[in-house]
Amino acid sequence: MTSIPPPQSPTDTRLAARAVSATKIYGRGDTEVRALDDVTVGFEPGRFAAIMGPSGSGKSTLMHCLAGLDTLTSGEVFIGDIALSPLPEKALTLLRRDKVGFIFQAFNLVPTLNALENITLPLALAKRDADDAWLDEVVTTVGLKDRLTHRPNELSGGQQQRVAVARALASRPDIVFADEPTGNLDSRTGAEILSFMKHAVRELGQTIVMVTHDPVAASYADRVVFLADGKIVDEMQDPTADAVLDRLKHFGD
């Protein structure tokens, strides 16, 4: 097993997003569940990170809190140097719109809008003009040029997910969160999406944080953070699928 380099300082304001002593408790008394238990972690800009862990480990909760979709019981999360917990609902919405991109597992697109309209939706909501050169680059890279006027129901699952990735990147957000982006796809289409995400990080300088339980998906990332029972238990740089699988096998040891 390779040695683990020391984690980046979670207070470093140059991080794209970070959580400091993040704790999330569901329920009360006997039914109390600590979904996140004093988690401190940071994500560097320009890198592709994966969060892994078994079901109920808190990996989705962590991502939702980082993205401002859910609130913490205690602790703090930051996007760039903005603390999210003091923000009112509207400011959170605007922050999501302007600084964050999302890719979900399924049901990623608005069925009444065509591919291009879906991609530029966050921009349209913000009444911002698209950066045409950037948009063109994103669309070309995802290989959607000839599909832009199609509606979601005229696209395959993989194509739909590519539109979702393009949408997440179109507004050039500070960070993109992806929640099991390949969960609903076959392995070949999944690999295509992941390659593109990796490409977006390498070539376009984007920052992506992805939640997954698939070791193969995780192997596309630069770094994997392992979560179990609401705590960070390990992390791995430049992971391979085998190494991740191996690490997962020893969970609970």
Partner 1 sequence: MFKLAVKSLLARKLRLLLMVFAIVIGVSFVVGSFVISDSLRSTFNSLATNIEGTTDLTVRTSQDFGDNALRPPIDQSNVDLVKKLDGVQAVEGTLNVFSGITPIKANGDPVKRNGPPIIGINTVTSPELNQLIPVDGRPPSGEGEFALDVDAAKDFEFVVGDTYTVLLPAGSKQVKLVGTFAFNSAANDTTGAVLVAFDTPAAQKFFSLEGRFSEIAISVAKGADLAEVQARIAEKLPAGAEVVDRSVKIQETQDDFDEIATIFGSILLAFAMVTVVVSAFLINNTFRIIIGQRIRELALLRALGATGRQVTISVIGEALVIGVVATFIGLFAGIGLAVLLKVLFSALGFSLPDGPLEILPRTIIAATLVGVGVTIVSALLPALKVRQIPPIAALGDDFQLQGTGLRRRIIVGGAVTGIGAVLLGLGLFGSLDTTALLLTLALGALTMFVGINLLSPVFAVPVARGLGWPIARFRGVAGQLARDNSARNPRRTSSTAAALMIGVALISMVAVVGASIKDTFTGLLDNSVEADFFVRPDNAADPTAGFSPDLTAALRARPEIESVEAFRFAQQSVRVGGKTKDLQGTDFKNLLQHLNPDIISGDVPAAGPNDVLVHKDPAKDLGLQVGDSIDMLFIDGKTETLRVAAIYDDASILGNWVVSLDLWDRHFTATVDQFVTVRSLDRTDPTAAAKAVEVETAVYASVKAENKAEFKKTQQRRVDSFLAVVQGMLILALLIALLGIYNTLRLSIYERTRELGLLRAVGMTRAQMRVMIRWEAAIVAVFGAVLGVVLGVLFGVAAASALPSSFIKSITLPLGSLVIYVLVAAVFGLLAAIFPARRAARLNVLDAISHN
Binding site for partner 1 (CB under 8 A): 64, 69-70, 89-90, 93-94, 96-98, 102, 104, 107-113, 117, 121-122, 124-127, 167
Q: Do 223 and 52 touch, CB atoms closer than 8 A?
A: no
Count of CB atoms situated within 10 Å of the CB of 132: 8
CA distance 212 to 60: 9
> Which of 98, 234 has the CB closer to partner 1?
98
Identify the sign of the CA torsion 249, 220, 165, 46: positive
Please choose, from the candidates 26, 22, 29, the residue with its C-alpha nearest in 3D space to the C-alpha of residue 72: 22
> Which of 89, 132 has the CB closer to partner 1?
89
Please choose, from the candidates 169, 69, 150, 70, the residue with its C-alpha nearest in 3D space to the C-alpha of residue 111: 150
Taking the complex as a whole, how short is the minimal distance between the CB of residue 55 and partner 1, in angstroms?
Answer: 14
Taking the complex as a whole, how short is the minimal distance between the CB of residue 52 and partner 1, in angstroms?
Answer: 20
Range 127-133 contact pairs with CB under 8 angstroms and sequence separation of 24 or more: 128/171, 130/170, 131/172
Taking the complex as a whole, how short is the minimal distance between the CB of residue 156 and partner 1, in angstroms?
Answer: 14
CA 104 from chain centre, in angstroms, equals 9
Q: Which residues contact 108 (CB under 8 A, 6 or more apart)?
A: 160, 161, 163, 164, 167
> Which of 82, 124 has the CB closer to partner 1?
124
Count the residues in the chain: 253
Taking the complex as a whole, how short is the minimal distance between the CB of residue 180 and partner 1, in angstroms?
Answer: 12
CA distance 1 to 245: 12
> Which of 169, 236 has the CB closer to partner 1?
169
Taking the complex as a whole, how short is the minimal distance between the CB of residue 117 and partner 1, in angstroms?
Answer: 8
> Which of 118, 219 has the CB closer to partner 1?
118
Taking the complex as a whole, how short is the minimal distance between the CB of residue 122 and partner 1, in angstroms?
Answer: 5
| Residue in the block written with tokens 């859910």 | 70
> Which of 114, 219 has the CB closer to partner 1?
114
Taking the complex as a whole, how short is the minimal distance between the CB of residue 191 and partner 1, in angstroms?
Answer: 25
> Which of 96, 223 has the CB closer to partner 1?
96
